[in-house]
Structure 1
Amino acid sequence: MPVADTSQLTSGVAERYASSLFELALEHGAVDSVTADLDRFQAMLDESAELKRFVASPVFSAEDQLKAIVAISERAGISGFFANFLKVVARNRRLFALPGMIRAFRLIAANHRGEISAEVISAHALSQAQETELKAALKSVTGKDVTISVTVDPSILGGLIVKVGSRQIDTSLRTKLSTLKLALKEVG
């Protein structure tokens, strides 16, 4: 029996929750503080494999998830709307969709500011100068201010993968090597 693709379901859940959070934050003039808390939580997710596993795991009860999220929020100094949002997400057993909610919130906020959001995957952390140069290059292509979200993935070996809207530009060394390998197989 094939396994159902849950990415569409997760995406829909994430977008609905993110939209609700954004509307609430906008209504109360708290978009910047929610974004700061959201960034703080995302940084914790990026740094902690245990937190990633906890968020993705269906094993924990809603009560355990709620207790943990409250403790994590307090320890990280996350308060206000985003802390309450995390509690609702935990209570509703939707923590698995939290990374998607964060991405969706960023997209909604960027769109509201008239910006375009780009997801960038790099083999190593980008310097501030590299990020600035990349933003300028993307702005020249899109004609809009660009907010970038950088993820480090050493498996791409080098180069970048940039996603802007439905377009993706893959200049990673991994892809170039795969293409070369395929070309050599066809020749040989």
Structure 2
Amino acid sequence: MIKDVIGQRYAKALYEIAEEKENVMELYKDLKAVLDVYTENEEFSNFINHPELTKNDRKKMLFRTFKENVNEESLMFLNYLIDKERLIYLDSISKEYLKIYYTKNNIIEVDATFSIEPNEGQKSRLKEKLKKMTSKEINLNVEIDKTILGGGILKIGDKIIDGSLKRQFEMLRTNL
């Protein structure tokens, strides 16, 4: 709960600064890149948050890791989080920033799960149908899960549309 409140507060402040400096998209890309490394590399996140690591060492590590990939303002923000001992909330801050970005730019994130990888044409058609259905731009994340057997599962916000064969077989079994 406190994580969400802190994330919202810092994300809102960062977004307002980004709007003033007209680099919302650049900060969005930077935060996404940092978040990807932070969440996908457990060793990195454990190391950077290690209690025995000094603030200066954390700053140096972040600078070395991200200096080529993110702008100076993003690095300054990360340093600020380190100074305020809020780096552990980076995940929450980044997610809240992305929510603000999506809301202000009329974008919705859709998680789609299929048993096999859809081709580009199928992805494009799905995005167009979802765009008509939601009246929003679609950010489509595709995952593969062979256990669903066929069909697909869509997660749109807090709604789940389960059109998987696995679910249909389960429903058939309970009805028989």
How would you bin the TM-score normalised by the shorter chain? 0.7 to 0.9
Cα distance change, pair 96–116 in 1 and its aligned pair in 2 (3 A): same
Q: Aligned residue for 1:4?
A: none
Cα distance change, pair 157–30 in 1 and its aligned pair in 2 (3 A): same
Q: Deviations over 1:102-123 (max 9, x none)?
A: 221112112222x132251646
| 1:78 partner amino acid | V
Q: CA deviation at 1:95?
A: 2.2
Aligned-pair identity (%): 18
If the length of structure 2 is used for normalisation, what is the TM-score? 0.73
Gaps of 5+ in 2: none
Q: Aligned residue for 1:23?
A: 16
Runs of 4+ in structure 1 off by over 6 angstroms are 123-126
Gaps of 5+ in 1: 1-7
Q: Deviations over 1:77-122 (max 9, x none)?
A: 2122211111112222222221222221112112222x13225164
Is residue 50 from structure 1 mapped to residue 43 from structure 2 by the alignment?
A: yes
Is residue 138 from structure 1 mapped to residue 118 from structure 2 by the alignment?
A: no
Rg larger in structure: 2
> Quick one: higher RCO (CA 8 Å, sep 6+), 1 or 2?
2
If the length of structure 1 is used for normalisation, what is the TM-score? 0.69
| 1:147 partner amino acid | N
Is residue 71 from structure 1 mapped to residue 64 from structure 2 by the alignment?
A: yes
RMSD between aligned residues: 3.5
Cα distance change, pair 110–168 in 1 and its aligned pair in 2 (3 A): same
Q: Structure 2 CA distance, aligned partners of 1:44 and 1:110?
A: 21
